C-alpha cells in the first residue's frame, strides 16, 4: 500500500553526550538519520520528509547522499511543531497513510511498516508498543521510593501510522500551550481510536551515549567476517629498483612481470579476491592482455576493493609479509603502509607491512627473486 513518512530529526540531541546533535552522529558508519530514511524508502515510501534543524540542509544532503525520494523541512521549537512542519511539506492526499517516526529509532524495517499499515484498517491510528516489564517506582519528595502499578501500561514506540487527515486534524485540535509526547496522543485527544501492535526491542530510542554503544554492538553482531589470503613471487633481473606495496624502492635489480610486478600488491589483491571467492588476479587481469603490460598494480587492488564494496563489504585490516634478502624493507615500511591505507581507504593502524628473510635458503635466499604473502579481513552484512 502507498504511504509517505515524516521523520523527526530536528532535536538538539544534547543528552547523547559530546559529539554534537545525535541525528548526524555516525552509527555503523552512517549518520543516524540515514538509517530511518533509507529503511522507509526501501519499505516503499512514496516520499519521506526529514524534519531537521533550520539551516542544516547541507548536512542533511551529505548524510542522505545517493538516496532518492526525500525532502527536508525545517523543524520547530517542539517535536509537535516539527511534525506539523513535516506534514505540511508532505503534500499528501487526505486518505493517504502517513507514518510519523523518530530518527532516534534507527532500526525500523519493512516488516514494522507492513504490520502498522495492516493494523490501521478499522482504526484511526496504530502504534507499536511494549508491555512494561520492569517494576515502576515513584521517587517522593523526601527521596524515598514507592511502587506504582504497571498493569495495563505500555511503552509506545514509533513509527506510528495514521491517515493524513486524521493526524493533521489531531494536531489542529491540540491545545497550543501543551506538547503531546507522541502523535497518537494528539489523535486520541481528538477522539480517534488508536490501536497498539506488538512493539519491538529493536525499535529502541537512542538517547544516551550508552545507547549508541549498545546499538554499535548490536550492529557488530549482525555482520559476518570473511578472510582471504594471497601469495605471489616475482623473479629479479638486473635493474635499478622495484615496486613493492605501491612504493618505488631503489635496488640493484628489478622484478620481472607483465605489469609492474609489485608482488606486495598482487598478494594483497589476491587476499581481497579470496575473501569474496572471486577467483584470482590472473582471472581479472590476464597476463596475455596487452592493457596490463607495465601497468601500475594500484588498479588491481582498487578493482578488488570495488568488488568488495559492491557486496556491501568493508576491509577491516590487512597484513602483508614481504620475503626477501634485499632490498631492505624497514626504511620503506612507513611509506608502504601509508600508500596501502590510502588505496584501501582505511586507517593506517589497520595496515601492517612486515618483512622477513629465508636465511639464505631457497629462491628468496639466493636472491633469484622475492615473494609476498597477505591476509585480509573483510566484513559483510550477515
Ligand atoms: Mg604477481
CATH 3.30.1330.50 applies to domain 223-381: yes
pLDDT value at residue 178: 87
- Low-confidence stretches of the chain (pLDDT < 50) are none
pLDDT value at residue 19: 65
pLDDT value at residue 90: 93
Alpha-carbon gap, residue 200 to 7, rounded angstroms: 18
Q: What's the 232 CA to ligand 1 centre distance in angstroms?
A: 5
Cβ neighbourhood burial of 296 (10 Å; 0-12, 13-18, 19+): middle
pLDDT value at residue 293: 87
pLDDT value at residue 14: 66
Q: What's the 252 CA to ligand 1 centre distance in angstroms?
A: 20
Q: What's the 146 CA to ligand 1 centre distance in angstroms?
A: 73
Tell me how far the alpha carbon of residue 240 is from its chain's centroid: 45
Q: What's the 281 CA to ligand 1 centre distance in angstroms?
A: 8
Q: What's the 360 CA to ligand 1 centre distance in angstroms?
A: 22
Q: What's the 120 CA to ligand 1 centre distance in angstroms?
A: 62
CB atoms within 10 A of CB 377: 16
Q: What's the 330 CA to ligand 1 centre distance in angstroms?
A: 22
Segments of the chain assigned to CATH 3.30.1330.50: 223-381
Q: What's the 339 CA to ligand 1 centre distance in angstroms?
A: 18
Q: What's the 308 CA to ligand 1 centre distance in angstroms?
A: 20
Q: What's the 257 CA to ligand 1 centre distance in angstroms?
A: 7
Q: What's the 316 CA to ligand 1 centre distance in angstroms?
A: 24
Segments of the chain assigned to CATH 3.90.550.10: 3-137+151-221
Cβ neighbourhood burial of 102 (10 Å; 0-12, 13-18, 19+): buried
CATH 3.40.50.300 applies to domain 3-137+151-221: no
Asked if 243 and 262 touch (Cβ cutoff 8 Å), the reply is yes
| CA distance from start to end of the chain | 29
Q: What's the 189 CA to ligand 1 centre distance in angstroms?
A: 72
Q: What's the 261 CA to ligand 1 centre distance in angstroms?
A: 5
Q: At what angle do helices 263-275 and 298-310 cross, to 10 degrees?
A: 10
pLDDT value at residue 12: 74
Which pTM does this prediction carry?
Answer: 0.65
Amino acid at each position: 500500500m502507498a504511504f509517505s513518512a515524516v521523520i523527526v530529526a530536528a532535536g538538539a540531541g544534547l543528552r547523547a553526550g559530546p559529539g554534537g546533535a545525535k541525528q548526524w552522529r555516525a552509527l555503523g558508519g552512517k549518520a543516524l538519520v540515514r538509517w530511518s530514511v533509507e529503511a522507509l524508502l526501501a519499505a516503499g515510501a512514496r516520499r519521506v520528509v526529514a524534519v531537521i534543524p533550520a539551516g542544516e540542509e547541507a548536512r542533511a544532503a551529505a548524510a542522505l547522499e545517493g538516496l532518492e525520494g526525500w525532502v527536508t523541512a525545517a523543524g520547530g521549537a517542539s517535536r509537535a511543531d516539527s511534525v506539523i512542519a513535516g506534514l505540511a511539506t508532505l503534500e499528501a492526499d487526505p486518505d493517504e497513510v502517513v507514518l510519523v517516526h523518530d530518527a532516534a529509532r534507527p532500526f525500523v524495517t519493512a516488516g514494522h511498516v507492513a504490520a502498522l499499515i495492516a493494523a490501521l484498517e478499522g482504526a484511526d491510528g496504530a502504534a507499536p508498543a511494549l508491555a512494561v516489564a520492569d517494576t515502576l517506582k515513584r521517587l517522593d519528595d523526601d527521596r524515598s521510593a514507592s511502587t506504582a502499578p504497571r498493569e495495563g501500561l505500555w511503552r509506545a514506540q514509533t513509527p506510528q501510522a495514521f491517515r493524513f487527515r486524521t493526524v493533521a486534524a489531531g494536531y489542529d485540535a491540540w491545545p497550543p500551550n501543551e506538547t503531546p509526547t507522541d502523535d497518537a496522543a494528539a489523535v486520541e485527544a481528538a477522539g480517534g481510536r488508536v490501536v497498539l501492535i506488538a512493539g519491538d526491542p529493536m525499535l529502541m530510542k537512542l538517547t544516551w551515549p550508552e545507547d549508541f554503544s549498545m546499538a554499535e554492538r548490536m550492529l557488530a553482531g549482525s555482520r559476518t567476517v570473511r578472510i582471504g589470503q594471497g601469495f605471489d613471487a616475482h623473479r629479479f633481473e638486473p635493474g635499478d629498483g622495484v615496486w613493492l606495496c605501491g612504493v618505488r624502492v631503489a635496488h640493484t635489480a628489478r622484478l620481472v612481470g607483465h605489469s609492474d610486478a609489485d608482488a606486495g600488491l598482487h598478494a594483497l589483491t589476491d587476499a581481497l579476491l579470496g575473501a569474496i571467492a572471486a577467483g584470482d588476479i590472473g582471472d581479472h587481469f590476464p597476463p596475455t592482455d596487452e592493457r596490463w603490460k607495465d601497468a601500475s598494480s594500484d588498479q588491481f587492488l582498487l578493482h578488488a576493493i570495488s568488488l568488495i564494496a559492491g557486496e556491501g563489504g568493508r576491509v577491516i585490516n590487512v597484513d602483508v609479509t614481504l620475503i626477501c634478502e634485499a632490498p631492505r624493507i624497514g626504511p620503506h615500511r612507513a611509506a608502504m603502509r601509508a600508500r596501502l591505507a590510502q588505496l584501501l581507504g582505511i586507517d593506517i593502524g589497520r595496515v601492517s607491512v612486515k618483512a622477513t628473510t629465508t636465511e639464505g635458503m631457497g629462491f628468496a635466499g639466493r636472491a633469484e627473486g622475492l615473494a609476498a604473502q597477505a591476509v585480509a579481513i573483510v566484513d559483510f552484512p550477515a
